[in-house]
Structure 1
């Protein structure tokens, strides 16, 4: 039997060691010449075919309808293994070599291993879950090998041994700290005092506020070294039943770690970044914090954190960065008189790596702000400095088209809807995803309400609005095979945009206020606009597109704006999922065309 079959690939990695041995022992190899009919319509199929090399075409009995092409690592015909006969014809397009897995073995594995069976289920969410689970073990090592460094060490307050309790308490409160090291005049060199120690000393032990802090300091202080693993720091806290450790850089104290922070670092690595953003007092300090965001995304992704969680976390961090930039650039007296809003993927909370700036400004009616153009130019430049690229379409606050008083915005929305052209509908689409991140956020709500009123139940306008979702073809060949150009497979135009824009149109039609595509899908399902299976498959397809694009951007250090996938980097299982997901998009586009009666 063949000795090169890779059982580490999904779904075979779901099998136990004994089941994998059973599978590999049962495998045979067959060779087919170009033009050979491997399986014919209504023919009993006694084995599952796994292509080693070559290409196979799936067609109707007369060959006039082509359903799919299969190539290396692809499997066929799974359906016939469960239905006893084949519905379609499978023909070798070139000399083809296949593994043959007997039907009886396949069916036994299918029935005895739930995860193996789930891979062949038609539900995209279950298949994606299997791939995610397959990656968890290989990510575990990276997860626990994060090191203690300047990025995650907290500042540490050190007080002399004779400092009184009242002074220590005042210093800790002013610096926002809940513990301090006490410099002793004996060995060991340091002790530690916490807010709990201070509270117990005064309230329970009735010590006077003038008591030297050395009398209540706890020793010894558990230490870890800078450059050690965070996992070891957590183990040291657990073994010694303490919540804090001091960090040493050689013989010098470099700072402190506490258990809550370490747990936060293990789960997201975002704790320190959030603090750095909050503490930034200059654009330069904010830029240094924003610059570590790429590494955060990479860490989260490599640790197998779910895509939706990553997007939610990054959206929150982006909002904090942008709001801080707004506060540093915009004069304080204008903070409550205008509203800065983001749009596009940022407005939907679906951005992972930084993409084009898409933003606008609402100024409170009656406010005269002559310096606004200069301030907005500076804010655009500042965001660019923080890593947010300029928008090629100039949807930014340094473009006066996107800066208006509230009443002007309301009038503009009415005029866009009245014009009803594809250009004005796209402008409304941009505004439909707006999200207030800084300033007086209440200024945005009347605009959103007015926009929804202009489009809800307006079938003709919504047909024009939706048309761009059908403009770009799904990157599949006539034979159902993945279609890629010289730059790769255009996943944004062919996969992401049709889902995002189509769901945006349906949300406006049914007056759903949420911006996020995944939330919109859930609400559309609840409103019975979409079938549960349709909503689930669209959600999983969108997550897959975002995940595959992100991984290639991280692995190959691609520009954050790169929208093409190199399908040669994908495994057989990922190609299978991608092909399945694009068929989901194709079917959704057909449904949209029918729903809005769009005929080209």
Structure 2
């Protein structure tokens, strides 16, 4: 292999591409090519080599306490820790005849001292390593979607008036500023007056223009920070159904107005069109037409490198609006506010991006006849199936009488789940705990969750059994465990579910109402139920696992296959394999944390 070939090979292996030309040359000049037959032990606690290994061809297995913990393939490298710390608890054994580069220890340690990026990769914690790998994996996809901040787009100078300004003077100032938006400052708070508000509150009511702006302004003005991601502002605009937000600095001072049209022009994204179509839909057919474009939005955002949690948040908001509009179109108006339509499970957590199934229910106000809702709920389920929301295999749908009943009946049900627990009851409770109200009287669900929290007071044994579900599925320490005859793995069972269930168990114990997994983790961190390192690791691992699942599901959609949670490990890139390995390490560690926290070993 020529020097140029060696450089090309190393440049594709992270973090060697961060080396300067001089450092790369130094690296190449101090490398040798070596061959080791199968079953050779390269490293063990009694033998620390003087080389850093970079695999050209072959497979290495890493063992700890005779248990396989990691495998290394072409373009993988090892073992920095034994060189840096001159000790190891692992053994590295050749599984398949090995051809590799050996970089001598002296040069490797010199490069670490000479190049801070190179050093950081080997000495940083697992979260930083994952973030570094993710950055490299998606660098080619970084676009304005991924990196644009609010301050990067057009921010309009605000027309600010004090609360005691007359309407006449405020309108005159807005004309001077050439804007239809008036910002009202009231002490340390901002409010807003729009053109449409002036028409409704002033023109139609013939209000005296000498009245103060405070009388009609809407408080508070929704705001974003100037260094927030622009995509987060887009999600807020869609969620709230508004056309503008205020922009504030770190001191919470208003510095401008961000308009919907400017965000649209920056992204040239179709999501606002879909949002508008959903709002304006006056028939089920029109609503179906609007909802069918969601998959195109998902594909577009994923291709452009948008983080999966941003995609799920945006799609979740649009799905919520579809549900709400459908509820309004199907359920008679006089019945709508005597019940609450809820989504549960992954939909309730705002984490179902591709339509895999529907988990929904109806909570009916006590004293109201449930039977009158049943035909409408049957139509809800049938219509959602027609829209492309697959039916739930477990029949956890509002058309099922079990998931359509009064508040008192649900209270009796939650009591049964707790007092006579079995696997089905644990699952039902988990699904229900993740519920989110999308239409009707949301107070009915709030009341139910209050009742649930009160019942769980001092139920430590129940919570331990509930948390035990975190351990239901095995999580491999290494991809070697599934690079076998069947190279497909269910990433939900092995990685996503343990994080979701473990975090859900902690959230249930702490009476946390938030449903999304990432937000639950952040709240648990704030309450010191999770230390910062573990919280950050969980968020990064959850992002990686969810991204790999979404990528696989989009491929299934393109191939018109049935959507599932399996990924083909043979199709993963080198960096994706590294990300998956590190994410599984975090999941395994989290399972141990849950076992210790809930004392699960005491109930086994």
Provide the residue aligned with 1:12 in structure 2.
16
Matches within 5 A, 1:116-131: 116-121=118-123, 123-131=125-133
**C-alpha distance in 1 between matches for 2:598 and 2:537:** 21
Matches within 5 A, 1:521-600: 521-556=521-556, 557=558, 559=561, 561-599=563-601, 600=604
Provide the residue aligned with 2:519 in structure 1.
519
Q: List per-residue Cα deviations over 1:377-431 (Å, max 9, x = no partner).
A: 1111111122211000000000000001122212221222121223222211111
Provide the residue aligned with 1:91 in structure 2.
93
Provide the residue aligned with 1:347 in structure 2.
348
Q: List per-residue Cα deviations over 1:113-162 (Å, max 9, x = no partner).
A: 44433333453332232233224542257979xxxxxxxxxxxxxxxxxx
Matches within 5 A, 1:52-451: 52-59=56-63, 64-121=66-123, 123-139=125-141, 260=262, 262-263=264-265, 265-266=267-268, 269-368=270-369, 370-451=371-452
**C-alpha distance in 1 between matches for 2:277 and 2:466:** 42
**C-alpha distance in 1 between matches for 2:110 and 2:555:** 38
Task: Kindly indicate whether the alpha-carbon contact (under 8 Å) linking 1:277 and 1:289 is maintained by their aligned counterparts in 2.
Answer: yes
Structure exhibiting the larger radius of gyration computed from Cα positions: 1
Q: List per-residue Cα deviations over 1:207-256 (Å, max 9, x = no partner).
A: xxxxxxxxxxxxxxxxxxxxxxxxxxxxxxxxxxxxxxxxxxxxxxxxxx
Q: List per-residue Cα deviations over 1:62-102 (Å, max 9, x = no partner).
A: x8454433222221111023124554332222311112223
Provide the residue aligned with 1:501 in structure 2.
501
Query: Secondary structure, in 3 states, of the residue corresponding to 2:551?
Result: helix
Taking structure 2 as the reference length, the TM-score comes to 0.74
**C-alpha distance in 2 between matches for 1:360 and 1:13:** 53
Task: Kindly indicate whether the alpha-carbon contact (under 8 Å) linking 1:45 and 1:85 is maintained by their aligned counterparts in 2.
Answer: no
Task: Kindly indicate whether the alpha-carbon contact (under 8 Å) linking 1:475 and 1:489 is maintained by their aligned counterparts in 2.
Answer: no
Matches within 5 A, 1:28-39: 28-39=32-43
Q: List per-residue Cα deviations over 1:314-345 (Å, max 9, x = no partner).
A: 11111111111111111122121111000011
CA 1:19–1:410 in structure 2 vs 1: closer, same or farther (change >3 Å)?
same
**C-alpha distance in 1 between matches for 2:265 and 2:23:** 38
CA 1:396–1:137 in structure 2 vs 1: closer, same or farther (change >3 Å)?
same
**C-alpha distance in 2 between matches for 1:347 and 1:548:** 21
**C-alpha distance in 2 between matches for 1:15 and 1:294:** 41
Task: Kindly indicate whether the alpha-carbon contact (under 8 Å) linking 2:370 and 2:406 is maintained by their aligned counterparts in 1.
Answer: no
CA 1:425–1:39 in structure 2 vs 1: closer, same or farther (change >3 Å)?
closer
**C-alpha distance in 1 between matches for 2:599 and 2:500:** 19
Q: Which runs of 5+ in 1 are unaligned?
A: 145-177, 179-194, 200-256
Deviation (angstroms), 1:22: 4.5
Provide the residue aligned with 2:486 in structure 1.
486
**C-alpha distance in 2 between matches for 1:315 and 1:480:** 35
Task: Kindly indicate whether the alpha-carbon contact (under 8 Å) linking 1:37 and 1:91 is maintained by their aligned counterparts in 2.
Answer: yes
**C-alpha distance in 2 between matches for 1:543 and 1:276:** 30
Moved more, 528-537 or 4-13: 4-13
Matches within 5 A, 1:465-476: 465-476=466-477
Moved more, 341-350 or 97-106: 97-106
Query: Secondary structure, in 3 states, of the residue corresponding to 2:11?
Result: coil
Task: Kindly indicate whether the alpha-carbon contact (under 8 Å) linking 1:353 and 1:560 is maintained by their aligned counterparts in 2.
Answer: no
Query: Secondary structure, in 3 states, of the residue corresponding to 1:120?
Result: helix
CA 1:105–1:323 in structure 2 vs 1: closer, same or farther (change >3 Å)?
farther
**C-alpha distance in 1 between matches for 2:36 and 2:367:** 79
Taking structure 1 as the reference length, the TM-score comes to 0.75
Task: Kindly indicate whether the alpha-carbon contact (under 8 Å) linking 1:475 and 1:490 is maintained by their aligned counterparts in 2.
Answer: no
Provide the residue aligned with 1:175 in structure 2.
none
CA 1:463–1:39 in structure 2 vs 1: closer, same or farther (change >3 Å)?
closer
Provide the residue aligned with 1:230 in structure 2.
none
**C-alpha distance in 2 between matches for 1:519 and 1:33:** 49
**C-alpha distance in 2 between matches for 1:110 and 1:488:** 37
Moved more, 64-73 or 501-510: 64-73
Task: Kindly indicate whether the alpha-carbon contact (under 8 Å) linking 2:137 and 2:576 is maintained by their aligned counterparts in 1.
Answer: no
Query: Secondary structure, in 3 states, of the residue corresponding to 1:388?
Result: coil
Q: Which runs of 5+ in 2 are unaligned?
A: 147-179, 181-194, 200-258
**C-alpha distance in 2 between matches for 1:386 and 1:120:** 49
Equivalent pairs counted in the alignment come to 488
**C-alpha distance in 2 between matches for 1:387 and 1:592:** 37
Query: Secondary structure, in 3 states, of the residue corresponding to 2:511?
Result: coil
**C-alpha distance in 2 between matches for 1:512 and 1:465:** 16
Task: Kindly indicate whether the alpha-carbon contact (under 8 Å) linking 1:483 and 1:489 is maintained by their aligned counterparts in 2.
Answer: no
Query: Secondary structure, in 3 states, of the residue corresponding to 2:512?
Result: coil
CA 1:143–1:6 in structure 2 vs 1: closer, same or farther (change >3 Å)?
farther
**C-alpha distance in 2 between matches for 1:8 and 1:567:** 20
Query: Secondary structure, in 3 states, of the residue corresponding to 1:320?
Result: helix
Provide the residue aligned with 1:160 in structure 2.
none
Task: Kindly indicate whether the alpha-carbon contact (under 8 Å) linking 2:27 and 2:103 is maintained by their aligned counterparts in 1.
Answer: yes
Q: List per-residue Cα deviations over 1:536-567 (Å, max 9, x = no partner).
A: 21221111110011112224536573111111
Task: Kindly indicate whether the alpha-carbon contact (under 8 Å) linking 1:355 and 1:560 is maintained by their aligned counterparts in 2.
Answer: no
Moved more, 302-311 or 339-348: 302-311
Structure 1 runs (4+) greater than 6 angstroms displaced: 141-144
Provide the residue aligned with 1:185 in structure 2.
none
**C-alpha distance in 1 between matches for 2:288 and 2:548:** 28
RMSD between superposed Cα atoms in Å: 2.9
**C-alpha distance in 2 between matches for 1:58 and 1:368:** 64
**C-alpha distance in 2 between matches for 1:129 and 1:17:** 25
